Structure 1
Amino acid sequence: MYVYADVVLLINFIMNSIVLFLTAHATCTGFRWQRLLLAAFCGGLYALGEIIPKIALVYSAPGKLAASVIIIFVAFGYRSVKTMLMLVGTFYVVSFVLGGAAIGWLYFIQNEASYRPGSILASSWSSLAISSAIAVILIIFIARRLIHKLSRRQTFYQTKIEYDGRWVTITGMLDTGNSLYSMIGKKPVVLLAWQAALPLVGPAVSEYLTRYKPEGWLANLDNCRDTSWLARVEVIPCQSVGGRNMLLGFRPDSIVLITPAGAIHTTEVLIGLYSDIFNCDTDYQALLHPALTARANSTEGANICALPGQ
């Protein structure tokens, strides 16, 4: 059996380039093409060296892991330890998806008699291109979505809201794009799904919120029988489709965020009742203002915000 070094190097260079590009795409990591292609070439040289028996130790599991870290370092430079671990993990996920797509495509186009393990090494360029295209589609439309969902969970916080002696505990997502402040006192606004607020506000307000449609809440405020809640109501201007809109908000007694660094407690906050759902995602019920995690109220920021999904 003959091994053509130039063919092995070329194939690995192409595949490594695809894997590294998809790794950057899936993790939303910036890169320079010069470094990425250099890393792909280094990966090709590493694959080519596997035919030398004297350096077999380099191709053990620890050796391959070390080589992967070096390739990632060459392609993207040094990042934080957390980012490097994410890049290396994504690199392997993409590699497995790409290899699985290649094997799956060969299994699909070959009959049972002619297909055998290892036939991927003898596959045609067309088969390699088609399997790579399948893997690219899988990574772009599936893997990146899953990775984004997992990374977004790092911004989820257990949130406790208190009003008039009642508490609700919900999951809030930190929204760095939330620049909404109240008109009075410049308090940061937490957008809360109105259904999640029903156990908090009491029976009279719950009956009022469910009786009228969200677009009629402000117009029918005089029909709410809870005068103490009405005394805490504020109108919040927001930007929505077609121009400016108004949200119904109220001042709670306090909000407590449970974070890895400890509990963050504040009373300077406004709850905005959001009448829709947050991007069809039921994992969280509120969008938290970034000022809450900073333990301070920013005095800067726009009074007009963009509603989620707009």
Structure 2
Amino acid sequence: MVVYADFVFLLNFIIDYLILWTTGKFLQLNSKKFRLFMGAGIGACYTFIFLIPSLTIVHILLTKILVSIAMVLISFGFIHLFHFIRMLATFYFVSFVFGGGVFGLQYLLQIDHEIINGIYIHHSSGSIVYLLFLVIAPVMIWLFSNKTYYSLRRKTLIQQDLVDVELTILNQSYQFKGLVDTGNQLYDPISRKPVLIIEAKDLTILPDVLQQAFDNRQFILDKFEQIADKIDPNWLSRIHLIPFRSVAKEMQFLLALRPDKVVIQNGEKRIETNKVLIGLDYGQLSIDRSYQAIIHPELLIAS
């Protein structure tokens, strides 16, 4: 068996660098590039141990742990023990993701390889193909893991801002999840009531004729004027037209309703108010349906 030491070193260096860089990004650590290069270099150099027969005796789990500790210390330094343990645990987690990803791609592409004493070895007579894999595979794994991490992180942050909402209108009650959005500063200019946006399709009590005033989720004032005489007076008396201006667009209007009351359960805090308007959106606010309404932050301090 012929081992291309330069390829082995380069592959491991690239993967180790991406692992360390991703670890730093996940933990929001500010580490200089040359420290990451040094840390990755330590990891890549370790792979040469199995090429030296006299040193294979130190190729044990303890040595691997010590090398990983050295890589983390060199790359990020030491602040205190808890912080270091957190960095090391994240480093191992990212390593498992990268290692499993590269290993899976090798099987998917049917590239000949094997594991010798814990070291990943590639067999190939086509150096160009291997070089392409050397560059592309770690980058693909990094892009996938990075996107997955931030997607999970975003979902976790969103879940922290979700509240239970109960809407009562014309003696009909509806329960749904709402996302508290600090960027939502929409008020009715006349009553100064905050506006809560809800997916209108979930309100089965709404007159079907209201949807005719919308085109691709956008409320069209001209269409509303055409159907106004078809709306039941009980509903028409509850309707508010709220003007607003979005970026790079002319003045628009939001169709809103006056509810009987809205109850928001935020943890152990229960907030009940009728000083709110319900803006209608005939689309889907959340791709994964984790929430069905956008909550105005002022409602959380309503009395």
TM-score normalised over the length of structure 2: 0.68
CA distance in 1, matches of 2:291, 2:158: 11
Contact 1:161–1:167 (8 Å) recurs in 2: yes
User: Offset at 1:251?
Assistant: 2.1
CA distance in 2, matches of 1:131, 1:284: 36
Equivalent runs, 1:169-188 vs 2, <5 Å: 169-188=175-194
Aligned to 2:52: none
SS of 2:285's partner is coil
CA distance in 1, matches of 2:93, 2:225: 50
Residue identity in the other structure for 2:282: S
Residue identity in the other structure for 1:226: P
Q: Which structure 2 residue ranges, 5 or more long, are not aligned?
A: 1-5, 50-55
Query: Higher Cα Rg: structure 1 or 2?
Result: 2
CA distance in 1, matches of 2:270, 2:14: 49
CA distance in 2, matches of 1:139, 1:42: 21
Aligned to 2:210: 209
> Which range moved further: 234-243 or 248-257?
234-243
Contact 2:31–2:76 (8 Å) recurs in 1: no
Aligned to 1:306: none
User: Offset at 1:292?
Assistant: 2.5
Deviations 1:100-155 (A, max 9, x none): 232133335555xx532346256788343232122123234544334433432332
Aligned to 1:97: 97
SS of 1:120's partner is strand
How many residues are treated as equivalent by the alignment? 277
User: Offset at 1:55?
Assistant: 10
CA distance in 2, matches of 1:37, 1:261: 49
Q: Are residue 260 (structure 1) and residue 267 (structure 2) matched? A: yes
User: Offset at 1:160?
Assistant: 0.9
User: Offset at 1:192?
Assistant: 0.8
RMSD in angstroms over aligned alpha carbons? Answer: 4.6
CA distance in 1, matches of 2:176, 2:196: 12
CA distance in 1, matches of 2:208, 2:64: 68
Q: For residues 188 and 77 of structure 1, do their structure 2 counterparts lie closer, same or farther at Cα, with a shift above 3 Å needed?
A: farther
User: Offset at 1:271?
Assistant: 0.8
Runs of 4+ in 1 over 4 A off after TM superposition: 6-14, 39-60, 70-73, 75-78, 87-93, 108-111, 121-125, 140-143, 210-214
Q: For residues 71 and 164 of structure 1, do their structure 2 counterparts lie closer, same or farther at Cα, with a shift above 3 Å needed?
A: farther
Q: Are residue 38 (structure 1) and residue 35 (structure 2) matched? A: yes
CA distance in 2, matches of 1:197, 1:272: 12
Q: For residues 77 and 144 of structure 1, do their structure 2 counterparts lie closer, same or farther at Cα, with a shift above 3 Å needed?
A: farther
User: Offset at 1:246?
Assistant: 0.3
Q: Are residue 74 (structure 1) and residue 76 (structure 2) matched? A: yes
Q: For residues 106 and 231 of structure 1, do their structure 2 counterparts lie closer, same or farther at Cα, with a shift above 3 Å needed?
A: closer
SS of 2:187's partner is coil
Contact 1:9–1:45 (8 Å) recurs in 2: no
Contact 1:43–1:71 (8 Å) recurs in 2: no
CA distance in 1, matches of 2:92, 2:61: 21
Q: For residues 162 and 258 of structure 1, do their structure 2 counterparts lie closer, same or farther at Cα, with a shift above 3 Å needed?
A: same
Q: Are residue 18 (structure 1) and residue 18 (structure 2) matched? A: yes
Residue identity in the other structure for 2:298: A
